[in-house]
Amino acid sequence: MSPVLNPTAAKRAATRDAYGEALAELGKQNPDVVVLDADLSGSTRTKVFADAFPERFFNLGVAESNMMGTAAGLASMGKVVFASSFAMFAAGKAWEPVRQSICVPHLDVKICATHAGLTVGEDGKSHQMLEDLALMRVLPGMTVLVPADAVEARQAVFAAAACRGPVYVRLSRAKTPIVLGDDYRFRIGKGTVLRPGNDVALVACGVEVGAALEAADLLASEGVEARVINMGTIKPIDGELLVAAARECGAVLTAEEHQAVGGLGSAVAEHLAQHCPVPLELVGVQDTFGESGDADELLAKYGLDAASIAERARRLLRRKN
Protein backbone atom coordinates (compact mmCIF):
# COMPACT_ATOMS: atom_id res chain seq x y z
CA MET A 1 0.00 0.00 0.00
CA SER A 2 1.20 3.49 -0.81
CA PRO A 3 2.69 5.35 2.16
CA VAL A 4 0.35 8.30 1.55
CA LEU A 5 -2.65 6.25 2.62
CA ASN A 6 -4.13 6.12 6.09
CA PRO A 7 -3.62 2.49 7.13
CA THR A 8 -7.08 2.24 8.73
CA ALA A 9 -9.28 4.91 7.12
CA ALA A 10 -11.55 4.34 10.11
CA LYS A 11 -11.42 7.86 11.49
CA ARG A 12 -13.89 10.34 10.02
CA ALA A 13 -13.82 14.12 9.95
CA ALA A 14 -15.44 16.91 7.96
CA THR A 15 -13.17 18.93 5.70
CA ARG A 16 -14.86 22.10 7.00
CA ASP A 17 -13.52 21.29 10.50
CA ALA A 18 -9.99 20.99 9.16
CA TYR A 19 -10.50 24.30 7.37
CA GLY A 20 -11.41 26.14 10.57
CA GLU A 21 -8.43 24.75 12.46
CA ALA A 22 -5.99 25.48 9.63
CA LEU A 23 -7.34 29.00 9.24
CA ALA A 24 -6.64 29.81 12.88
CA GLU A 25 -3.12 28.43 12.56
CA LEU A 26 -2.55 30.42 9.39
CA GLY A 27 -3.72 33.54 11.21
CA LYS A 28 -0.93 33.11 13.75
CA GLN A 29 1.66 32.84 11.00
CA ASN A 30 0.50 35.65 8.74
CA PRO A 31 -0.88 38.94 10.13
CA ASP A 32 -2.14 39.89 6.65
CA VAL A 33 -4.72 37.10 6.63
CA VAL A 34 -8.27 38.35 7.12
CA VAL A 35 -11.48 36.31 7.09
CA LEU A 36 -14.98 37.22 5.93
CA ASP A 37 -18.17 35.24 6.45
CA ALA A 38 -21.81 35.65 5.48
CA ASP A 39 -23.42 35.01 8.88
CA LEU A 40 -22.57 31.29 8.89
CA SER A 41 -19.32 31.25 10.84
CA GLY A 42 -20.47 28.48 13.16
CA SER A 43 -21.26 26.21 10.23
CA THR A 44 -18.31 27.15 8.01
CA ARG A 45 -15.99 26.92 11.04
CA THR A 46 -14.52 30.39 10.47
CA LYS A 47 -15.65 31.06 14.05
CA VAL A 48 -12.40 29.43 15.18
CA PHE A 49 -10.49 32.24 13.46
CA ALA A 50 -12.98 34.86 14.67
CA ASP A 51 -12.47 33.85 18.29
CA ALA A 52 -8.68 34.00 17.95
CA PHE A 53 -8.44 37.16 15.82
CA PRO A 54 -11.64 39.22 16.21
CA GLU A 55 -9.98 42.32 14.76
CA ARG A 56 -9.33 40.46 11.49
CA PHE A 57 -12.71 38.80 11.15
CA PHE A 58 -15.72 40.45 9.49
CA ASN A 59 -19.28 39.12 9.43
CA LEU A 60 -20.91 40.64 6.37
CA GLY A 61 -24.35 39.22 7.14
CA VAL A 62 -26.58 37.48 4.63
CA ALA A 63 -25.09 39.50 1.79
CA GLU A 64 -22.77 37.22 -0.12
CA SER A 65 -22.28 39.47 -3.14
CA ASN A 66 -21.33 42.34 -0.87
CA MET A 67 -18.92 40.02 0.94
CA MET A 68 -17.10 39.24 -2.31
CA GLY A 69 -16.83 42.93 -3.14
CA THR A 70 -15.46 43.66 0.32
CA ALA A 71 -13.02 40.77 -0.05
CA ALA A 72 -11.79 42.26 -3.31
CA GLY A 73 -11.28 45.66 -1.69
CA LEU A 74 -9.25 44.19 1.18
CA ALA A 75 -7.18 42.11 -1.24
CA SER A 76 -6.44 45.20 -3.34
CA MET A 77 -4.81 46.66 -0.22
CA GLY A 78 -2.45 43.71 0.16
CA LYS A 79 -4.46 41.45 2.45
CA VAL A 80 -4.81 37.70 1.94
CA VAL A 81 -8.56 37.28 2.19
CA PHE A 82 -10.52 34.12 2.98
CA ALA A 83 -14.24 34.45 2.24
CA SER A 84 -16.62 31.72 3.31
CA SER A 85 -20.24 30.67 3.02
CA PHE A 86 -22.11 27.58 1.88
CA ALA A 87 -21.15 26.55 -1.66
CA MET A 88 -24.65 27.33 -2.93
CA PHE A 89 -24.23 30.96 -1.91
CA ALA A 90 -20.48 31.49 -2.34
CA ALA A 91 -20.32 30.03 -5.85
CA GLY A 92 -23.89 30.43 -7.05
CA LYS A 93 -25.43 33.51 -5.50
CA ALA A 94 -22.23 35.58 -5.62
CA TRP A 95 -20.86 34.44 -9.00
CA GLU A 96 -21.05 37.81 -10.74
CA PRO A 97 -18.98 39.78 -8.19
CA VAL A 98 -16.55 36.85 -7.98
CA ARG A 99 -16.03 37.24 -11.71
CA GLN A 100 -16.01 41.02 -11.94
CA SER A 101 -14.39 42.10 -8.68
CA ILE A 102 -12.06 39.20 -7.88
CA CYS A 103 -11.14 37.32 -11.07
CA VAL A 104 -10.90 40.19 -13.55
CA PRO A 105 -8.27 42.03 -11.41
CA HIS A 106 -6.82 38.65 -10.30
CA LEU A 107 -6.88 39.39 -6.58
CA ASP A 108 -5.75 37.26 -3.64
CA VAL A 109 -9.17 36.12 -2.47
CA LYS A 110 -9.59 32.52 -1.33
CA ILE A 111 -13.23 31.42 -1.51
CA CYS A 112 -13.61 28.47 0.85
CA ALA A 113 -17.10 27.09 0.35
CA THR A 114 -18.50 24.52 2.75
CA HIS A 115 -21.62 22.32 2.55
CA ALA A 116 -21.02 21.34 -1.08
CA GLY A 117 -22.54 18.35 -2.82
CA LEU A 118 -25.15 15.75 -1.91
CA THR A 119 -23.60 15.12 1.50
CA VAL A 120 -25.21 18.30 2.81
CA GLY A 121 -27.90 15.67 3.39
CA GLU A 122 -31.13 16.71 5.03
CA ASP A 123 -30.92 20.33 3.82
CA GLY A 124 -32.03 19.06 0.42
CA LYS A 125 -31.77 20.29 -3.15
CA SER A 126 -31.89 24.00 -2.29
CA HIS A 127 -28.53 23.68 -0.49
CA GLN A 128 -26.93 20.72 -2.27
CA MET A 129 -24.61 22.61 -4.62
CA LEU A 130 -23.75 20.31 -7.53
CA GLU A 131 -22.70 22.92 -10.07
CA ASP A 132 -20.00 24.94 -8.29
CA LEU A 133 -16.98 23.29 -9.93
CA ALA A 134 -18.35 24.16 -13.35
CA LEU A 135 -19.02 27.75 -12.30
CA MET A 136 -15.57 28.26 -10.77
CA ARG A 137 -13.56 26.26 -13.30
CA VAL A 138 -14.74 28.39 -16.21
CA LEU A 139 -13.43 31.63 -14.64
CA PRO A 140 -10.05 32.71 -16.08
CA GLY A 141 -7.27 32.62 -13.49
CA MET A 142 -9.31 30.76 -10.86
CA THR A 143 -7.58 27.84 -9.12
CA VAL A 144 -10.02 25.12 -8.04
CA LEU A 145 -9.23 22.70 -5.19
CA VAL A 146 -11.32 19.78 -3.87
CA PRO A 147 -9.68 18.12 -0.84
CA ALA A 148 -10.31 14.40 -0.42
CA ASP A 149 -10.34 14.47 3.38
CA ALA A 150 -9.38 16.50 6.44
CA VAL A 151 -5.66 15.83 5.93
CA GLU A 152 -5.70 17.29 2.44
CA ALA A 153 -8.10 20.09 3.40
CA ARG A 154 -5.70 21.40 6.03
CA GLN A 155 -2.81 21.47 3.57
CA ALA A 156 -4.99 23.00 0.85
CA VAL A 157 -5.70 26.01 3.07
CA PHE A 158 -2.00 26.78 3.41
CA ALA A 159 -1.42 26.13 -0.29
CA ALA A 160 -4.27 28.48 -1.20
CA ALA A 161 -2.81 31.22 0.98
CA ALA A 162 0.55 30.88 -0.78
CA CYS A 163 -0.99 30.82 -4.26
CA ARG A 164 -1.20 34.16 -6.02
CA GLY A 165 -4.64 35.06 -7.30
CA PRO A 166 -8.15 33.74 -6.66
CA VAL A 167 -8.69 30.22 -5.33
CA TYR A 168 -11.87 28.20 -4.82
CA VAL A 169 -11.74 25.46 -2.18
CA ARG A 170 -14.67 23.03 -2.02
CA LEU A 171 -15.41 21.64 1.45
CA SER A 172 -17.93 19.19 2.89
CA ARG A 173 -20.40 19.28 5.74
CA ALA A 174 -20.48 15.55 6.51
CA LYS A 175 -17.78 13.66 8.34
CA THR A 176 -16.07 11.40 5.82
CA PRO A 177 -13.24 8.84 6.12
CA ILE A 178 -9.70 10.14 6.44
CA VAL A 179 -7.98 8.23 3.65
CA LEU A 180 -4.62 10.00 3.54
CA GLY A 181 -1.75 9.47 5.95
CA ASP A 182 0.23 12.07 7.87
CA ASP A 183 3.07 11.84 5.34
CA TYR A 184 0.84 12.96 2.46
CA ARG A 185 1.93 16.21 0.81
CA PHE A 186 -0.51 18.30 -1.21
CA ARG A 187 0.67 20.39 -4.15
CA ILE A 188 -1.55 22.57 -6.30
CA GLY A 189 -1.78 21.19 -9.81
CA LYS A 190 -0.61 17.70 -8.88
CA GLY A 191 -2.67 14.54 -8.47
CA THR A 192 -1.53 11.51 -6.51
CA VAL A 193 -1.66 7.81 -7.30
CA LEU A 194 -3.08 6.20 -4.16
CA ARG A 195 -3.26 2.67 -5.52
CA PRO A 196 -1.36 1.09 -8.46
CA GLY A 197 -3.04 -0.82 -11.25
CA ASN A 198 -3.05 -1.02 -15.03
CA ASP A 199 -6.51 -2.36 -15.91
CA VAL A 200 -8.49 0.84 -15.40
CA ALA A 201 -7.81 4.25 -13.82
CA LEU A 202 -10.28 5.66 -11.27
CA VAL A 203 -9.77 9.43 -11.01
CA ALA A 204 -11.68 10.98 -8.10
CA CYS A 205 -11.88 14.12 -6.00
CA GLY A 206 -13.39 15.07 -2.66
CA VAL A 207 -15.50 12.53 -0.82
CA GLU A 208 -15.43 10.26 -3.88
CA VAL A 209 -11.76 9.41 -3.33
CA GLY A 210 -12.69 7.14 -0.45
CA ALA A 211 -15.45 5.56 -2.55
CA ALA A 212 -13.00 4.98 -5.41
CA LEU A 213 -10.59 3.20 -3.07
CA GLU A 214 -13.42 0.97 -1.86
CA ALA A 215 -14.45 0.30 -5.46
CA ALA A 216 -10.87 -0.71 -6.27
CA ASP A 217 -11.05 -3.28 -3.45
CA LEU A 218 -14.26 -4.70 -4.95
CA LEU A 219 -12.68 -4.93 -8.39
CA ALA A 220 -9.51 -6.51 -7.01
CA SER A 221 -11.59 -9.39 -5.65
CA GLU A 222 -12.54 -10.07 -9.29
CA GLY A 223 -8.97 -9.91 -10.56
CA VAL A 224 -9.20 -6.32 -11.83
CA GLU A 225 -6.38 -4.02 -10.74
CA ALA A 226 -7.64 -0.43 -10.70
CA ARG A 227 -5.31 2.52 -10.39
CA VAL A 228 -6.80 5.11 -8.01
CA ILE A 229 -5.84 8.75 -8.48
CA ASN A 230 -6.72 11.55 -6.07
CA MET A 231 -7.15 14.68 -8.20
CA GLY A 232 -7.21 17.30 -5.45
CA THR A 233 -6.76 20.11 -7.98
CA ILE A 234 -9.40 20.42 -10.68
CA LYS A 235 -7.77 23.50 -12.18
CA PRO A 236 -5.00 23.42 -13.20
CA ILE A 237 -5.50 19.73 -13.91
CA ASP A 238 -2.52 17.36 -13.71
CA GLY A 239 -2.38 16.54 -17.41
CA GLU A 240 0.85 14.60 -17.25
CA LEU A 241 -0.56 12.19 -14.66
CA LEU A 242 -3.78 11.79 -16.65
CA VAL A 243 -2.00 10.98 -19.91
CA ALA A 244 0.20 8.42 -18.15
CA ALA A 245 -2.87 6.77 -16.65
CA ALA A 246 -4.68 6.73 -20.00
CA ARG A 247 -1.72 5.21 -21.85
CA GLU A 248 -0.94 2.61 -19.21
CA CYS A 249 -4.51 1.63 -18.27
CA GLY A 250 -6.32 2.18 -21.56
CA ALA A 251 -9.52 3.36 -19.83
CA VAL A 252 -10.35 6.14 -17.36
CA LEU A 253 -13.31 6.63 -15.01
CA THR A 254 -13.90 9.87 -13.11
CA ALA A 255 -15.95 10.15 -9.90
CA GLU A 256 -17.16 13.35 -8.27
CA GLU A 257 -19.94 14.57 -5.96
CA HIS A 258 -21.06 17.05 -8.60
CA GLN A 259 -23.00 17.09 -11.83
CA ALA A 260 -21.41 14.67 -14.29
CA VAL A 261 -20.83 17.61 -16.64
CA GLY A 262 -18.73 20.68 -16.00
CA GLY A 263 -16.53 19.44 -13.16
CA LEU A 264 -13.73 16.91 -12.78
CA GLY A 265 -15.09 14.59 -15.49
CA SER A 266 -15.28 17.39 -18.02
CA ALA A 267 -11.79 18.61 -17.16
CA VAL A 268 -10.38 15.10 -17.62
CA ALA A 269 -12.33 14.52 -20.84
CA GLU A 270 -11.16 17.83 -22.31
CA HIS A 271 -7.52 17.04 -21.64
CA LEU A 272 -7.56 13.42 -22.78
CA ALA A 273 -9.54 14.24 -25.94
CA GLN A 274 -6.65 16.44 -27.00
CA HIS A 275 -3.71 14.37 -25.78
CA CYS A 276 -4.66 10.70 -25.32
CA PRO A 277 -8.23 9.65 -26.17
CA VAL A 278 -9.34 6.44 -24.43
CA PRO A 279 -12.70 4.95 -23.35
CA LEU A 280 -14.04 7.17 -20.56
CA GLU A 281 -16.85 7.02 -17.98
CA LEU A 282 -18.00 10.06 -15.99
CA VAL A 283 -19.54 9.16 -12.64
CA GLY A 284 -21.50 12.04 -11.14
CA VAL A 285 -25.05 13.27 -10.67
CA GLN A 286 -26.90 12.79 -13.94
CA ASP A 287 -28.60 16.08 -14.85
CA THR A 288 -30.85 16.26 -11.81
CA PHE A 289 -31.06 18.00 -8.44
CA GLY A 290 -30.65 16.27 -5.11
CA GLU A 291 -33.15 15.64 -2.32
CA SER A 292 -33.29 15.55 1.45
CA GLY A 293 -31.84 12.45 3.09
CA ASP A 294 -28.97 10.78 4.88
CA ALA A 295 -25.63 11.60 3.23
CA ASP A 296 -24.48 8.00 2.65
CA GLU A 297 -27.90 6.92 1.43
CA LEU A 298 -27.96 9.80 -1.06
CA LEU A 299 -24.55 8.85 -2.44
CA ALA A 300 -25.83 5.33 -3.02
CA LYS A 301 -29.11 6.47 -4.60
CA TYR A 302 -27.35 8.79 -7.05
CA GLY A 303 -24.74 6.21 -8.04
CA LEU A 304 -21.78 7.68 -6.19
CA ASP A 305 -21.03 4.86 -3.73
CA ALA A 306 -18.31 2.23 -4.12
CA ALA A 307 -20.63 -0.43 -5.54
CA SER A 308 -21.89 1.94 -8.24
CA ILE A 309 -18.38 3.05 -9.18
CA ALA A 310 -17.27 -0.59 -9.45
CA GLU A 311 -20.23 -1.40 -11.72
CA ARG A 312 -19.47 1.56 -13.98
CA ALA A 313 -15.84 0.42 -14.10
CA ARG A 314 -16.95 -3.06 -15.21
CA ARG A 315 -19.00 -1.47 -18.00
CA LEU A 316 -16.00 0.62 -19.00
CA LEU A 317 -13.77 -2.44 -19.11
CA ARG A 318 -16.21 -4.13 -21.51
CA ARG A 319 -15.88 -1.11 -23.80
CA LYS A 320 -12.10 -1.18 -23.49
CA ASN A 321 -11.93 -4.86 -24.38
Q: Which CATH class is domain 192-320?
A: alpha beta
Of 131, 128, 86, 79, whose CA–CA distance to 111 is shortest?
Answer: 86
pLDDT at site 7 = 63
Query: Do the two domains 12-177 and 192-320 of this chain adopt the same fold?
Result: yes
The dihedrals phi and psi of 225, each to the nearest 5 degrees, come to: -100, 105
Q: Residue ranges of the domains in the chain?
A: 12-177, 192-320
Angle made by CA atoms 241, 247, 251, in degrees to the nearest 5:
95
The dihedrals phi and psi of 319, each to the nearest 5 degrees, come to: -65, -40
Cβ pair 152, 187 in contact under 8 A: no
pLDDT at site 321 = 86
Q: Which residues are catalytic?
A: 64
pLDDT digits (tens, 9 = 90+) for 271-301: 999 999 999 999 999 999 999 999 999 999 9
What is the distance between the alpha carbons of residues 283 and 86, in angstroms, rounded to a whole number? 24
Q: Domain 12-177: give its CATH architecture.
A: 3-Layer(aba) Sandwich (3.40)
What is 88-136 written as a DSSP string?
A: IIIIIITHHHIIIIIITTT--EEEEEESBSGGGGGG-TTT-B-SHHHHH
Cβ pair 268, 274 in contact under 8 A: no
pLDDT at site 8 = 59
The dihedrals phi and psi of 68, each to the nearest 5 degrees, come to: -70, -35
pLDDT at site 1 = 41
> What pTM did the predictor assign?
0.96
Q: For residues 253, 182, 147 and 111, what is the CA-based torsion angle, rounded to 10 degrees? A: -160
Q: What is the pLDDT along the chain (321 residues), one digit of tens a residue?
A: 444 677 655 689 999 999 999 999 999 999 999 999 999 999 999 999 999 999 999 999 999 999 999 999 999 999 999 999 999 999 999 999 999 999 999 999 999 999 999 999 999 999 999 999 999 999 999 999 999 999 999 999 999 999 999 999 999 999 999 999 989 999 999 999 999 999 999 999 999 999 999 999 999 999 999 999 999 999 999 999 999 999 999 999 999 999 999 999 999 999 999 999 999 999 999 999 999 999 999 999 999 999 999 999 999 999 998
Q: How far is CA 71 from the centre of its chain?
A: 22
Cβ pair 171, 114 in contact under 8 A: yes
What is the distance between the alpha carbons of residues 149 and 153, in angstroms, rounded to a whole number? 6
